[in-house]
Amino acid sequence: MEFRYIVLVLIFITAGLSSYAQERPASTPGNNYTASTTITVKIPRIANITLSENRTRQIPDLSSGTDIPATENQMLKSIESNGKWAIDVVNTDVEYNKAENRQASSTRPSRTLIYITSQP
């Protein structure tokens, strides 16, 4: 009689273990495990102008243009920019003051004016 009980207990134990193994979930992530971030970038229209004497002038905004009064022996060497640009080189015997929009002096020696503007 006891053998029957033993056999029954063994059957229940086996069935229980089998059920436990089946109900146990697979490798399922339990919680949130991702995180997101955002990167924003602002890039203005900018340019660097290098003259022959390794003088570099930064133009913060080509849309408004800028002028560079080049002194003796200074010549435009290179431009690096992320926008389209145009160059006007004007020989003049006066220095041009763009800020005041007038001739700054008529007594200076001959200079070259480099005027750079952006193009649409």
C-alpha 9: how far from its chain's center? 71
Coil, strand or helix at 87 = strand
Residues that bind other proteins (CB under 8 A): 2, 16, 20, 24-25, 27-48, 58, 60, 80-83
Query: How many angstroms separate the CA atoms of 87 and 81, rounded?
Result: 13
Output the smallest distance, CB 53 to other proteins, in A: 19
Output the smallest distance, CB 10 to other proteins, in A: 14
Of 49 and 114, nearer to other proteins (C-beta) is 49
Tokens of 85: 């640009």
Query: How many angstroms separate the CA atoms of 43 and 70, rounded?
Result: 28
Output the smallest distance, CB 48 to other proteins, in A: 4
Of 109 and 120, nearer to other proteins (C-beta) is 120
Query: How many angstroms separate the CA atoms of 109 and 32, rounded?
Result: 73
Of 29 and 109, nearer to other proteins (C-beta) is 29
